[in-house]
Structure 1
Amino acid sequence: MPASQAVPPTQSVLSPLTASALFLVVTVDDGGEEAVRELLADLAGLERSVGFGYPGGGLSCVAGIGSAAWDRLFDGPRPAALHPFTELAGPRHHAVATPGDLLFHLRATRQDLCFALAALIMERLRDAVTVVDETPGFSYYDNRDLLGFVDGSENPVGLAAADAVVVGDEDPDFAGGAYVITQKYLHDLAAWNALPVETQELIVGRRKFDNVELDQPGSHVDLNTITDPDGTEREILRDNMPFGRPGSGEFGTYFIGYARTPEVTERMLRNMFLGSGPTSHDRILDFSTPVTGSLFFAPAAGFLEDPPGPPAKGAGADAPPERSPGG
């Protein structure tokens, strides 16, 4: 059965792209689990409180939970495909895995609404979590990244988006949820902008001016096109945002990809970092370096509002903690 039919309401993973975003990643401190559970149950109410007076603001917040934190927060089963982010060491480039127990992906037409909701979240979690990354994002020109290319134009829409992103019958306990992978990339814009536009286009696999896709084997677009043996193309939903601090020489893209299974995004990353066929790596990585990497599960909205109970005291005490490298 397609995920778009007869599944619990999702969080706002399918919300349209917005002009502003804020990506907040934290780890849960020892003893902070109950504060986190209470915050997650109240998150929808906090979102309504901030957004109610600004109906055109498009405020939304998706909460994702990492593998290491899941068993600390909830009793019972866990999402079937939830695991730590897989670190990838390629011949030239490295996809790092970094700590991340919770992701809050805030979106709105205005940055102040993201700021206000994040402030309320942190007011509740201040003594329960440690912030490991906080990145505000913005829309740049006509939805371009800082490399100058349109980003996200191949996102699925409508029912196709729901079927690509939302868990269905394959994991009925977690139907309505979605997996999300995040990476924060820093760009060497001086080196990139020194390339001729024609070379940039061959690396990306699109024309820069009009966004027309090129038939260019080994390009970024080609390596991120995932096709099953039966010819079915597998899709994810990207909500990438530029970020930066010109005064500090920081320019980047925050990659965030939602999918029904993390396998699709992971195949894309393996192609990029480990190569595919005669292509040793995605040449865009010669100019863009990931400094974070995390995997989360964003449960259905009802799961957060009425979650299972906390794990029994001492449950899993004999098992080693499931932490990603560095965490």
Structure 2
Amino acid sequence: MAREQFGVCAEPNLHGSYLLFNVLDNRNAFIRTALSRLPELFDDYADQFSEANLTGVVAIGANYWDEFYPQARPALLKAFPSMDNDDRVAPSNNVDIYIEIRSDRSDVNHIVCSKVCQLLADSVELIEQVQAFRFLDGRDLTGFVDGTENPQGMQRRNVALVQESDDANFASGSYLHIQRYKHNLTLWSSLKNEEQEDVYGRTKVDNIEYESDKKPLTAHTKRTSLKDENGKSIEILRQSMPYGDVKEQGLFFVSYCHSPEPFEKMLKSMIYGDGHGHVDHLLKYTQAETGAAFFAPSLTFLTALGNISV
């Protein structure tokens, strides 16, 4: 049975480092071998700095997959669903490789990021690096708890990982979507506390969700808390973290799921609304500047890449 990459379902950390690469021409064989070595690299540093709770994730971009591994493709893998409606935009970017490193020590993250870049060497171009951090008790920089709706316990694996019965070749992998949101905290701070709570649909300090009949149809929790045709909640596993400095702040949004469909439905609900003009009012105060889709294959798949010749 394939083993998942441990970082997919891991509990939150204090620090996150996100590396986004594009692969240079004719370096695919080198990349496959290099990526096959990353799980061991992560394990070595996790053992060396055991108190840091280090985890890593490696994912392959939807637009790069066929070139990277032409033998087979995850059944539901597709490009990021870019969307545009009035002033609400979800752009799509081409990113070949995504590497996520999380731990409770920023210096350990820096060491591992440096080793990853050394390993990939001149076969890639680093197009973006985002350093993120845990804010207060797991809150976004808006002051509200992030990831409140995340599945817990074993349900995290059920939500995040592809099952053997759905796609045997890529079991224990996960469909990944990322977006880097930039917040307008000056505008956000101009709202009264009650107005901010109405935007989210839950209280700020004690994180209590509004009763359904009291929740505005434009609330973030209303637009993202969706149900399927059988009345079952549609879930994703968020591993998002705030980023920024005193000049620019935002959220690096990370979504893992056994299918890309739940994320796409939530994004559509936020940007296009319910067909009656009720869109996500949180998007008045934050803007997605990037977006990309990936597949994070199983640990078993990754470690076997070094033995593949294409």
Q: Which TM-score band (shorter chain)?
A: over 0.9
Q: Is 2:268 the partner of 1:270? A: yes
Match of 1:309 in 2: 308
- How many Å separate the matches in 2 of 1:36 and 1:154? 36
**TM-score, structure 2 normalization:** 0.95
Shift of 1:225: 1.0
Q: Name the amino acid aligned to 1:59.
A: L
Q: Name the amino acid aligned to 1:219.
A: A
Q: Cα 1:183–1:61, aligned 2, differ >3 Å: closer, same or farther?
A: same
**TM-score, structure 1 normalization:** 0.90
| TM-align CA RMSD | 1.2
**Partner residue of 1:11 out of 5, 8, 14:** 5
**Partner residue of 2:182 out of 182, 186, 190:** 186
Deviations 1:220-259, CA, capped at 9 Å, x for gaps: 011111211111111111011010021xx10100000100
Unaligned runs of 5+ in 2: none
Match of 2:89 in 1: 94
Shift of 1:310: 4.5
**Partner residue of 2:122 out of 120, 124, 127:** 127
Unaligned runs of 5+ in 1: 1-6, 312-327
Q: Name the amino acid aligned to 2:166.
A: E
- How many Å separate the matches in 1 of 2:136 and 2:203? 16
- How many Å separate the matches in 1 of 2:180 and 2:89? 13
Shift of 1:98: 0.9
Shift of 1:65: 0.4
- How many Å separate the matches in 2 of 1:280 and 1:132? 36
- How many Å separate the matches in 2 of 1:84 and 1:164? 20
Q: Secondary structure at the match of 1:233?
A: coil
Q: Structure 2 matches for 1:151-300, cutoff 5 A?
A: 151-168=146-163, 169-214=165-210, 215=212, 216=215, 217-246=217-246, 249-300=247-298
**Partner residue of 1:137 out of 98, 116, 132:** 132
- How many Å separate the matches in 2 of 1:114 and 1:175? 28
- How many Å separate the matches in 1 of 2:248 and 2:86? 26
Percent sequence identity over aligned pairs? 31
- How many Å separate the matches in 2 of 1:129 and 1:69? 13
- Report if aligned partners of 1:99, 1:132 keep a CA contact under 8 Å in 2: no
Q: Name the amino acid aligned to 1:255.
A: F
Q: Secondary structure at the match of 1:22?
A: strand
Deviations 1:90-147, CA, capped at 9 Å, x for gaps: 1221100012111101110111111111111101223111112100110001111100
- How many Å separate the matches in 1 of 2:132 and 2:239? 10
- Report if aligned partners of 2:63, 2:94 keep a CA contact under 8 Å in 1: no
Q: Name the amino acid aligned to 1:149.
A: F
Q: Secondary structure at the match of 1:126?
A: helix
- How many Å separate the matches in 1 of 2:74 and 2:114? 29
Q: Secondary structure at the match of 2:188?
A: helix
Shift of 1:153: 2.0
Size of the aligned set, in residue pairs, is: 303
Q: Secondary structure at the match of 2:244?
A: strand
